[in-house]
Structure 1
Amino acid sequence: MEDEGKWRPSAGDDSVWNLKAAGVACRELDCGSAVSVGEREESSWRPVWWIDPDCVQSGSALRECAQYSSSKDILTLSCSDSVRLLGGTGLCSGRLEVNSDQSNQSNPSWSSVCEADFDQQDAQVVCRQLGCGAPSVLQGALYGEGEAPMGTKEFQCGGHESALLDCSSASERNTCPPGTAVSLTCSEPGGVKLEGGESRCAGDLEVEHLGEWRPVDGSYSLWTLKAAEVACRELDCGSAVSVQREESSKRSVWRIRSDCVESGSALRECAASASSSHFLNLTCS
């Protein structure tokens, strides 16, 4: 990132940088949606811009959140540079836009997709490419028309491809009727469960993210009953009755901030890798 006329790598603790914050960076880069966020350790310390994810999520530009520092830990992001979902309620829903010209990454040209040129198999590929679950809603203009031109090709996916641009496509289609830009809602990936309790609606909260089940860290922030309601609803377990902190041996956890969950984000969007000996214990009615 460039700030004060100097390019430096960005540093940040990947235990607090989540997909929601990474999504802001990907959008500022015009690189679609965030797929993953991580950290690379270099052999020696070097000058960096330290970026606070809370500042980024508040709506500020990246450079407004930068502070001069030095670090060996460099923040790494993976963005989907060919598809993105805009205007939805989270990372896995929104109006679909495609960047078909991969030869010009410095100036991407995003286009909406015509409803008539897109089917359920195409939607499966997009959801998989963005790290989301299976498509649950495919509808025209659910999240608005947007400003992108309607000029993408008709995609012909088999449903098994890893990226939309890997699918075969038909000829260019230049015009579509108003209200027919594809909007897509994918299910949230992974799962939520309560382990070790007297019923499936009580126990230590565990979340599946990036294909791995881990307990949720109970030491980072105080989880409120409002945040616990999100987990109880996903479990179809009614309302939250209590939130407690349990202590055990130290292990890998997902650090999930309650304020991120309370803002309406899915649990996985608020998850960051960490280790802890304190776990969240929930009881739902």
Structure 2
Amino acid sequence: MQGGSHHCCFSHVPWLIFSPSGQTLSISMLVDGPHRCAGRVEVLHQQQWGTVCDDGWDLQDAEVVCWQLGCGAAVAAPGFAHFGRGRDPIWLDQVNCTGTESALSECRAKPKGVHKCHHREDAGAVCSGNPTELRLVNGSSRCSGRVEVLHNQQWGTVCDDGWDLNDAEVVCQQMGCGVALSAPGSAHFGPGSNHIWLGEVECTGAEVTLSECRSRMEEPINCHHGEDAGVVCSDPPALRLVNGSSLCAGRVEVLHQHQWGTVCDDSWDEEDAAVVCRQLGCGTVVSAPGAAQFGKGHNAIWLDDVNCTGKEDTLSECLARPWGTHNCDHGEDASVVCSEQVL
């Protein structure tokens, strides 16, 4: 980060897969994102780069791109030209990956170049391999405090120059902490003591991670720790139990990005269920059934590999994969039965 600043729109080195004879089988890259692991999806066909239409584009498709690029798990699969419009052919449409393919070319799709799309439907991907690691410090809960980011294995702060609710909204989203209530500056949660890693942050509020926002990353940043930025977010995402005999039994659903979604039963157990019962004021856990015992959900699968100790106050405090990242289907939706039977 030293010796310069950046304002998005990097070019990236493409990823190639060769057959034993040396013939190219698959090539793709992410373009116009804040780093090599986020951007507009582009593929090479007939020696020309082109885009992917967002018809049917989802996290399972993005998962394959992230895997192919060595960028970790998929965090988001934005459409509507989130990372800007391409200008070359639209090569792929109706991509339908299972999420286990090793390259995008292995996924089902319309024949290359066959589509009924335009570039404002270009698909994108955000992977976990390079987002800013983030924490909130000195607040009254895990969803408020001084904003700190991890760089070069050292935590540092964010300067409050230009810091506003749009920037705070992205932090709250990345932390799984609901919506932004305020964006205090002037070291409201106390001054930090190490580097000031970011300045002049400029988010639209629609980004998935703080690393997608425009910012100044040059050192020295013209700030001091009396200008450290903070965030106050709303309560953790709402939680409900669906299709049970009462409000204290049913399929677990959480509210994220204004949409209710389910929890995968991978590693789901009574410690996880105990946190749900506690958060809902439903007494103690009776059982933690999986396999969609209370019916299959229909929307997103928001959480997978949940790993609670059983002592957390809310499900959002438990370890889990990033929001929306999973390898499940709704036949694996997790459920809870609690001791109280509130009707």
Normalized against structure 1, the TM-score is what? 0.49
**More strand per residue: 1 or 2?**
1
Normalized against structure 2, the TM-score is what? 0.43
Larger radius of gyration: 2
